[in-house]
Amino acid sequence: MIAGIEGTLQSRSANGAIIKVGGVSIQVHMPSSTLASLGAIGEEVHLYTHLHLKEDNVSLYGFASTDELELFRMLIGVSGVGPKVALAMLSAMNPSQLALAIATGNIDLLSQVPGVGKKRASRLTLELKEKLESAWFAAPTAEGDTEVIAALTSLGYTTSEATSAVATLPDSPELTIEERVRLALQYFGSGQ
């Protein structure tokens, strides 16, 4: 399996780029967020990759982060979700937002992605909700933790930073979600 690729950016298109590695030019499909982070033609790039094999096609998919790669692999593991739909989802939302939308069962948001209807969105949440909660959100324990994480990620914090902040919150059911967000922001303000 090809786990990563490092080379010179030769060209880019709407859904991927061509990377020159040694004397070989390789077409790599990627979400728009990764395409935007590549830099200028001629610059060195490093991507985490997934080699997708089908009977009639071999394709390489590249990602700027291991989070994107991990989520892509989870998505294509769901029946009825292929690499093109998974790329469309990762192009529409960053990995934290997408994982949160699936973990919270936000069918309306997921079904706005081209190629993902309500039926496919429901299947995604059904099959991936528990995996994403345990892998990405450390299974929030208090009521409203998922909403606090969503608020923090919408403010620009990563999922792991938001989860760390939520882990420091007191386990008090009297706290509203707004108070929990305020306390989490104080965690960041204290320099952790």
Residues of the chain with pLDDT under 70: 135-144, 160, 191-192
**Sequence spans of domains, the chain:** 4-63, 66-136, 145-189
Which of 7, 132, 111 is closest to 62 using CA atoms?
7
d(CA 85, CA 37): 21
Predicted local confidence at residue 174, as pLDDT:
81
Q: How many CB atoms lie within 10 A of CB 2?
A: 13
Q: Which CATH class is domain 145-189?
A: mainly alpha
d(CA 184, CA 192): 10
Which of 105, 86, 106 is closest to 95 using CA atoms?
86
Predicted local confidence at residue 142, as pLDDT:
54
d(CA 78, CA 21): 32
Which CATH number does 66-136 carry? Answer: 1.10.150.20
Predicted local confidence at residue 115, as pLDDT:
87
Predicted local confidence at residue 80, as pLDDT:
87
Cβ distance 22 to 8 under 8 Å? no
Predicted local confidence at residue 94, as pLDDT:
83
Which CATH number does 4-63 carry? Answer: 2.40.50.140
